[in-house]
Amino acid sequence: MARSGRWAARGELSRNWSQPDPGRLEQLQMALLRKQLKEKILPFHPHFRNLLSDFDVESLQGYDDLAVIPFSSKSDVAPTAEAPDRPKNFVLQPDQDSIRKVLTPFQKAGMMWTALRHGKEEVRRRLGTEYRPVQAFFTTGRTALPTSFFLSRYDLDVLHECGRRMGEVIGVGSPEDRLVSVFPYAPHLAFWQVHGVGLANEVFTLHTGGGRAMGTEGILRALEKMRPSHLTGIPGYVYHLIRQGVEEGRDLSSIEVVFLGGDRVTAGYREKLASLLKENGSKDPIVISVFGFTESKKCWIECPGGVETGFHSYPDFDLFEVVDPETGIRLPDEETGELVYTPLDGRGSLIMRYRTGDIVNGGMTHKPCPACGRTVPRFSSDLSRASNQTDMSLTKIKGTLVNLNVITDLLTDSPLVDEWQVVLSKRNDDPLDVDEMRIAVSLATDQQPDNIDDILASQIQHASEVRPSHMEFLARDEMLQRLGMETQLKEKRIVDLREEVGSDATEGSSK
């Protein structure tokens, strides 16, 4: 049976995932959540089994009832020096007795039939395929230890099915299509989700490993030779790659769609990248954003209709909420708030009502997509990655709460700026002194006004209410080295040195 047929067997939402009946969506999603809780979470999940020991699953009849389930967050899952095995508490851990207790009479009969026909070893093999972890994704956050999330073969099939749907949304699958990925080789979601897109849609895919593996020159040669229709990677590196290709006169005109993950994709960035591709001969190139996080074990994508269409979810696999970041109260559609995620299916590592820390500007909507007509729940593509340490969404600088996303968006979109880096530090490297914000840029062209430093500093001050302590102008090559564009898994856009200064001082005082 094809994978898509396998999921169709799960019920109405899976049979027609992209066009769920809006009038029945809440009822169907809550039924899937109750089933997942009763059959997987409560009997097999160490963390939630204890947390929800007295929980009445049948009380979950509508979205508003979700409030009775406590939130979870990265701090619950992330390992610490005192509790290095904490991620294992979020892995389903069934045993023979617990499985027997949750099987329906029909399921028991099926297992007995399998045992009679193929032997008990086949029953154990099938259960192992469903539950036994066979792969791990890793994420790094504020702790020094990586957080591992485990996937069984079942989860990998879900990942591939989501890859198939992503391809369906953006139109991948023609025999003529070719896909090149410049995501680094790594045990990270982005790399493996793209692998799923290519495999599930039977599209020839070249995984280059990014600049660290093949190098930009090697990738550009491959693009010219392979002539792909689709390109995917981290926004910063993809822009660097295309810009260098255009400057070298490479023929990149075959690229029709670029889909990007791992970083915020602004409207200005889209325009700059599309302009580069058009300059190189690409006709009407489309730049699309992808969103995902390790804990979800899957990604979501926009349709080609435009940024305003938002990320298209999978209503049989996920349930999203947007809540007030301060109170945790669920917000109505189209109101800005924090994204909260609950999987409706899955094995391996699982979370419930997971607070992503990401602010969705414009919230969610259950209206049909104005571009493609799909009726899946969608959430705005305008995300502020508050939970991502690299993005440093909200930070105190000089006593003023600053949204660094505003600054990074301004620098990314500015026609004056080619590449940039923000460095947060302590004056005189003194942990008790005031914070400083230094900004290094390489300029887009040599034809810049004499007071370019004042222009950029004033724009940043107007946007963020904080003026940079220092503006530094570098040649592009030096800027790319600072960013680690071809040496890091992800370029170092924001560098926060303040904690290092504080820890150094603490260590020094204790000696």
The DSSP result for 383-420, as a single string, is EEETT-TTT--EEEETTEEEEHHHHHHHHHH-TTEEEE
Mean pLDDT of the 140-168 span = 87
- pLDDT for residue 392 is more than 60: no
Q: Which residue has the higher pLDDT, 504 or 40?
A: 40
Question: Helix/strand/coil (H, E, C) string of 320-389?
Answer: EEEECCCCCCECCCCCCEEEEEEECCCCCECCCCEEEEEEECCCEECCCCCCCCCCCCEECCCEEECCCC
- Please tell me the total number of residues recorded for the chain in this structure: 511
- pLDDT value of position 247: 94
Nearest-angstrom CA–CA distance, 378 and 357: 18
Among 52-61, 253-262, 275-284, 492-501, which is the least confidently predicted range? 492-501
Confidence band of 387 (pLDDT split at 50, 70, 90): very low
HSE value, Cβ hemisphere, 13 Å, CA-based, for 76: 20
**Structure tokens given for 370:** 């104005």
Q: Which residue has the higher pLDDT, 180 or 405?
A: 180
Confidence band of 425 (pLDDT split at 50, 70, 90): confident
Calculate Rg over the CA atoms of the chain: 24
Residue type present at position 118 = H
pTM score of the predicted model:
0.88
CATH architecture of 394-510: 2-Layer Sandwich (3.30)
Mean pLDDT of the 82-88 span = 91
Confidence band of 386 (pLDDT split at 50, 70, 90): low
Number of other CB atoms surrounding residue 348 within 10 Å: 25
Percent of the chain whose pLDDT exceeds 90: 65
- pLDDT value of position 233: 96
- pLDDT value of position 144: 54
- pLDDT value of position 397: 57
Query: If DSSP codes are grouped into helix, strand and coil, which group holds residue 424?
Result: strand
Nearest-angstrom CA–CA distance, 97 and 44: 11
- pLDDT value of position 391: 33
Domain segments of the chain as ranges:
394-510
Find tokens 């259950």 and name the residue. 366
pLDDT digits (tens, 9 = 90+) for 55-66: 899 999 999 999
pLDDT digits (tens, 9 = 90+) for 324-348: 999 999 999 999 999 999 999 999 9
DSSP 452-463: HHHHHHHHHHHH
Q: Which residue has the higher pLDDT, 215 or 115?
A: 215
Among 68-77, 195-204, 403-412, which is the least confidently predicted range? 403-412
389 — phi, psi (to 5°)? -60, -35
Nearest-angstrom CA–CA distance, 344 and 314: 10
pLDDT digits (tens, 9 = 90+) for 453-503: 999 999 998 888 788 989 999 999 999 999 999 888 889 998 888 877 655
- pLDDT value of position 9: 61
Nearest-angstrom CA–CA distance, 474 and 496: 20
Note whether 331 and 322 are within 8 A (CB): yes
pLDDT digits (tens, 9 = 90+) for 221-250: 999 999 999 999 999 999 999 999 999 999
Confidence band of 402 (pLDDT split at 50, 70, 90): confident
Mean pLDDT of the 282-292 span = 94
- pLDDT for residue 398 is more than 70: no
- pLDDT value of position 448: 76
pLDDT digits (tens, 9 = 90+) for 14-66: 888 999 999 999 999 999 999 999 999 999 999 999 999 888 999 999 999 99
Task: Give the list of residues 6+ apart from residue 363 with CB closer than 8 angstroms, or none.
Answer: 322, 331, 332, 333, 334, 335, 336, 337, 379, 380
The counts of H helices and E strands in the chain are: 18, 21
- pLDDT value of position 54: 87
- pLDDT value of position 3: 53
Average pLDDT in the chain: 88
Fill in the DSSP letter of residue 496. Answer: E
- pLDDT value of position 388: 37
**Structure tokens given for 34:** 């109750």
Task: Give the list of residues 6+ apart from residue 185 with CB closer than 8 angstroms, or none.
Answer: 191, 207, 209, 210, 213
**Structure tokens given for 168:** 């369906």
Nearest-angstrom CA–CA distance, 56 and 382: 36
Note whether 167 and 178 are within 8 A (CB): no
